Amino acid sequence: MAEIIGKNTIKLESVDSTNNYTSKLLADNKLNEGTVVLAGYQNAGRGQINNSWESEPGKNLLMSVLLYPDFLPVQHQFLLSKVVALGVRDLLACFVDEVKIKWPNDIYVGDKKIAGILIENSIMGYTIGSAIAGIGVNINQKSFLSNAPNPVSLFQLTGGFFNLDELFGMLCETIELWYGLLRSNKVDIVNEAYINALYRLGVESFYSDNDGEYLGVITGVNSIGQLLIRASNGKNKNYHFKEVAFL
Ligand code: BTN
C-alpha cells in the first residue's frame, strides 16, 4: 500500500473539477503531501488548453494528487510530469500491452488516448512549492460522446469491468514509487524510463508546425521538456507544448 499518496483521500460523489476543488481547499487549509481528491463525476472536468474532460458518472478514475516538490528547481518541473505519467503508465501496463506516453504526458494505447494528466504548479521562489496533479483514467466507460482526443477505456480494450477502488490503490502506489525516485534524485532512472515509454520514439511519422507538415522522427525530450524531432530533410526541431501537432 502507498504510504503517502492517498493516505488522506477526500472522496466526492460529484464536483466541478478535482483540480479546482483541491486548489480551493489548499487556499484555506494546511493539507498533507499526498492528499488525494477523488471524484465519481466532474461537471466541469478540465483538460489541457481549456479543453474539457469527458467522463460518465462512476465509470472512471478522476483524481487530483497534491504534492510538495519543493526540492525541484522550476527549470526541472517537467520531471514531475514524467513521474506522474510513468505512474499512470505502470498502472495500465498491468492490464494491457503497448501503453505509451505521448509527449508531454498523455497516456496512449496504440493510437488512442486512455488517460490524461493536468498538472498545475505553484512556483515558490526558485522551486515548485505545490503541485496539483489531476489525473483522468478511462476505465469502465463503454462509449464516448466526443471523439476529440481519440478516447479509449480499459473496458473497450479488454471487454472486462474493473474495480475502481482497487485500481485507485494501485495508482497511488505506482505514482508514489516514481515520485519517490524523483525525490531521491534518481533522475537518470526517471529520464530513461520516460524515453523508453515515449510514443512514436524513433518511428517515422508526420507532424505539423508553423512551417507546415513534414515527415520526421522523435529523437527525445530535452531537459526543459521540449520535444525533439529530426525532420526528414535533416533539420533538428524542438518544441514547447502545442507548438507541434502529431498527424
Ligand atoms: C488532458 O487534457 O489530457 C488532461 C486531462 C486531465 C483530466 C483530469 S480528471 C481529474 C482532474 N480534474 C480535472 O478537472 N482535470 C483532471
Q: What are phi and psi of 22, to 5 degrees?
A: -65, -40
Cα of 51 to ligand 1 centre, how many Å?
Answer: 9
C-alpha 140/C-alpha 80 separation (Å) is 27
- pLDDT at 200 > cutoff 80: yes
Q: What tens digit of pLDDT does each residue of 203-220 get?
A: 999 999 999 999 999 999
DSSP string, 112-170: EEEEEEEEEEEEETTEEEEEEEEEEE--S----S--TT-B--HHHHHS----HHHHHHH
Confidence of residue 15 (pLDDT cuts 50, 70, 90): very high
- pLDDT at 1 > cutoff 90: no
Residue 54: per-residue pLDDT: 93
Residue 241: per-residue pLDDT: 92
C-alpha 194/C-alpha 190 separation (Å) is 6
Bridge partners, 198 (sequence order)? 101
C-alpha 116/C-alpha 43 separation (Å) is 17
Fill in the DSSP letter of residue 105.
T
Confidence of residue 121 (pLDDT cuts 50, 70, 90): very high
Question: In 25-90, where do the E strands start and end?
Answer: 36-42, 61-67
Which ligand 1 atom is nearest residue 45's CA?
Answer: 14
Fill in the DSSP letter of residue 166.
H
Task: Output the average pLDDT for the chain.
Answer: 96
Q: What cell does 127 get?
A: 522551486
Query: Hey, which of 135, 139, 144, 146 would you mutate to test ligand 1's pocket, going by the most ligand atoms within 8 Å of its Cβ?
Result: 135
Query: Hey, which of 9, 46, 61, 84 would you mutate to test ligand 1's pocket, going by the most ligand atoms within 8 Å of its Cβ?
Result: 46
pTM comes to: 0.96
Residue 149: per-residue pLDDT: 81
C-alpha 144/C-alpha 50 separation (Å) is 19
Q: What tens digit of pLDDT does each residue of 143-158 get?
A: 999 877 899 999 999 9
Query: What does the buried/exposed string (b/e) look like for 95-108 if buried means 16 or more CB atoms within 10 Å of the residue's CB?
Result: beeebbbbbbbbbb
Nearest-10 Cα torsion for 152, 158, 162, 166: -90
Ordered by where they begin, the domains of the chain are: 9-196 (3.30.930.10), 204-246 (2.30.30.100)
Q: Which helix (H) or strand (E) holds 24?
A: helix 18-28
